[in-house]
Amino acid sequence: MASFCPTGCQGAPVSSTKYGAPGATPIQPSGAAPGARKERGADGDVCAIFSLRGIGRWFAGLRRPGSLPGKAGSAPRMQAIYAQPTLVEDLRSAVNERLDSLVPAAQRGPQRVTEAVRYALLAPGKRIRPLLTLLAAVDFGAAVADALDVACATEMVHTASLVLDDLPSMDDARLRRGQPTVHVAYGESTAILAAVALLNQAFATVTRATRLPCETRLALVERLSAAVGFDGLVTGQEHDLHDRGNTATVARLEALNHQKTSVLFEAALEIGARVAGAADRSIDELRQVAAHLGLAYQIADDLFDVSVPLGPQSKDLHKDADKPTVVSILGAERARERFGHHMAEALKLLPARGAGGQPLRDYIVVTFAQTRLC
């Protein structure tokens, strides 16, 4: 899975305000000055990976509201386009806080499994999928509190998929999110049980989101389960494990990457839009946006895997060294151009909302186009 981060991987500490509670105060930007956060990620700066011509070209063509101002081919000026930087930090903190309350305390149930669940889920993460859900909901006029729990469910599914992907029988990874993988820390059997528990907790969380009508919750369960099952993550991982050698064309690789990555992005955006009661046409547009985002994200991950300097990392690198990837087929420069193509298509398709400074669009631009990886 992709590993480059949005601005600041970890949200700032928040108060004990329960964002999911009925009548909660809407999240507001905290007033911190733009650019105040200057942490380095676990892998440091590797700006050269995405600051080349392929990225500059797609930025040069953006001239819509919320797009990047400046000269063609210039380096991205994130502060100029990110109108609400603290909104995302507040939302990320809200997600982290709510995740902590949605899974059992370590003292409950089988202690080893609950500890493994919390170890995996509450590790410092980017929370891209729940943020996509929340920002889509906000863009279409929903309250953050209405979407928070179902957004957290997308993170539970994502984390469960990482735990399973990392198993010795699959990718055999030893490091994830800057710490030993779950099977390294707790053993393979406990890791499998923790992943199953997280998947079940995700669906339970959606069904218990009583701020939403029953029919909406049912639709969201169906959508999330589809992203996991025979048309989604399970099939993508199976093909990645056993059919990767037969995917040595860009078209076939992108079909695989769609199942591995795009499907959960699609579910995340659609869930947020459905919480807000968005029209079917807008939801269809968001699915197309997410499809391109997932493909761009996977190319970024492949570039990261082959380009990052030696040193401490937040996850295992070079796990796909013996497998065909978009980068190995096209080369790094053309892969960057392919990344730019998918980003341009995603932003072209993204419905313009107008109100609130287009936070979803701004977040996508900042997250996928920045030059700091971690």
Dump pLDDT digits (tens) for 262-308: 999 999 999 999 999 999 999 999 999 999 999 999 998 888 877 65
Residue 281 burial by Cβ neighbours in a 10 Å radius (0-12, 13-18, 19+): exposed
Dump pLDDT digits (tens) for 170-208: 989 999 988 999 999 999 999 999 999 999 999 999 999
pLDDT averaged over every residue in the chain: 76
CA 19 – CA 368 distance, rounded (Å)? 27
Dump pLDDT digits (tens) for 85-134: 688 999 999 999 999 999 998 777 789 999 999 999 999 999 999 999 99
pTM over 0.95: no
What is the CATH code of the structural domain delimited by 47-369?
A: 1.10.600.10
Amino acid (1-letter code) at residue 159: T
CB atoms within 10 A of CB 170: 14
Cβ contact 163:125 at 8 Å: no
Kind plus residue range of the DSSP H or E element containing 176:
strand 175-176
Residues 6+ apart with CB under 8 A from 343: 58, 292, 293, 296, 368, 369
Average pLDDT, integer, range 40-65: 34
